[in-house]
Amino acid sequence: MNKSLRQLFTAVLVLFVVLGISSSIIMTVQSNSLSHDARNTRSLYHMYGAPRGAILASDGTVLAKSDPVNDAFSYQRSYANGALYAPVTGYFSVTQNADRGIEASENDLLTGESNALFWQRIKAVFTGEENRGASIETSINTTLQTVAAQELGDQDGSVVAIEPSTGRILAMVSSPSYDPNALATHDTGSASKAYTELVNDDSNPMLNRATSQLYPPGSTFKTVVAAAALESGKYQLDSQIPAGSAYTLPGTQTELTNSSSLGDGSDGKISLKSAMAYSSNTAFAQLGVALGDETVSDMAKKLGFDSTITIDGADSTGLPMRAVASRFPQNVAGDKLALASIGQGDTLVTPLQNAMVAAAVANKGKVMKPTLVDRVRFSDLSVLPDTKPQVMSTAFSEDTAKKLTEAMEAVVTEGNPNLEIPGVRVAAKTGTAQIGVDNSSIDGWTIGFAPADNPKIAVAVVVHNVDLYGSFAAGPIMTAVMKEALKQ
């Protein structure tokens, strides 16, 4: 073989090697991203060419479904009461990848492409039947979801309701919301326009405030500090702790005061139970400093702070639905620790996390993993094993939980009688977080559970940018959801 032929042979061989490597990369490394690229029309036609599974509420109400249509995509996705359930369902669009809600977290099951549906796909090949996606049965209670949304109205905020013993999410409302039907249209121009308008909307309606928005928790965080104090063994509900009408933040000249003189105590002291009942800022700021940021931070972490929380799905099923990490500061000066201990400063929380705090007290100190899917049902009506309750951590002892419950009942009976439900023992903690320039506005909170002696539901409510105390801005919403739950 002469020199020219050898060079030509070498060049052709190199080209084949390059082609083989590039093809392997495309088929393995890049295959998933390419198949999920919204510009890949072949992938879109494939996904729309078979009926996508339905998303259902716990009572069987259809929240999302696919109906046959006479166009290139074959099936049209539609959402019942779209805006009400958008935080749960997310959206499925011809112009944008599903990136939130059940549509994203259970995408592979909904499309029928999951490995769990392998034998169904094989069966479809041999029988000539359509490959149908699985249906996703959620834990959402339609009545509670509706009541929560109606009570919140057009206010900016969120409501989360949890079954304390299991972690099942019964309601998850975010306001303002959006209608996924506008994104599901097969008119690509209209879908793109709707998406652009939504992402450019200053009110951010596509944001699920329940899981993805951090708020200062205000005095609801005193529940965490009280848990840390009781669990330390150094404090009891009748322990007298420093309070007073004012407290100068360490190393500053800034004075912290109470919203009510009942929180001042007597002779500069107040019992831990009364400090909770009357939401004493001066008492809990000093208690947080006395405990130290490590002790308070450890308790917050046991309750779920400082970690993202996976609510549904896994990488194998789609894009998991996760809650952003709530935060409590560490290694900070005394003045910042004092503010953080009353839910101000650098302490930030999602509504889901605050519902988990209430649920942990209701569940004897055990923090349950929050879940949104009860079961997955295949088109032949067989099911994957039901979601089993899973303990994330034991944040505190049953004895501490009992004492916290007693203190949270006092919050209602002694400090906030407007939160009472006739014939039902209610445990709660209110919060009035100051926000904005010069603390000119409020994030109003109420968290709690009922019945306090046999908990069935835990609720967290936040109403953003209001001029009312949390007890009055969020409290009525919490009690309305509780009343409806206890009717069932």
The token pair at 429 is 């903690």
412 CB burial (10 A radius; 0-12, 13-18, 19+): buried
Beta bridge partners of 448: 428, 459
The token pair at 176 is 């303002």
SS3 177: coil
Packing angle of the helix pair 222-232, 398-410 (nearest 10 deg): 140
Degrees, nearest 5: CA angle 329-366-241: 55
Q: Which residues contact 322 (CB under 8 A, 6 or more apart)?
A: 211, 308, 309, 310, 311
Q: How far apart are CA 56 and CA 48, in angstroms?
A: 19
Selecting among 135, 158, 212, 219, the annotated active-site residue is 219
Asked whether the beta carbons of 378 and 111 are under 8 A apart, the reply is no
SS3 304: coil
Q: How far apart are CA 11 and CA 18, in angstroms?
A: 11
Q: How far apart are CA 355 and CA 449, in angstroms?
A: 9
Q: Do the strands 321-323 and 255-257 form a parallel or antiparallel pair, or are they unpaired?
A: unpaired
Q: What is the DSSP string of 389-437?
A: P-EEEE-S-HHHHHHHHHHHHHIIIII-GGG-BTTB--EEEEEEEEESG
Q: How far apart are CA 352 and CA 174, in angstroms?
A: 11
> Is 219 in the active site?
yes
Report residue 484: phi and psi, to 5°.
-65, -40
Residues that are catalytic: 219
